Amino acid sequence: MSNLTSFQKECFCGIIKSDKALRMLLADKSNEFREIANNIGYPTDSENWEWIILNFCLDFSRSFMIWTDLSMPCDHNAVHKSMTQMRQLARGKTNMTEVTKLQNIAFRIAEDFKSICMRMDKKDFAIASM
| Residue ranges covered by each domain of the chain | 3-128
Enumerate residues 6+ apart whose C-beta is below 8 A from 77: none
- pLDDT by residue for the chain (130 residues), tens only, comes to 455 555 545 444 567 788 888 999 999 999 999 999 999 999 999 888 999 999 999 999 988 888 787 777 777 788 888 888 989 999 999 999 999 999 999 999 999 999 998 888 766 545 444 4
The CA–CA distances, whole Å, from 49 to 12, 26, 53, 125 equal: 23, 12, 6, 31
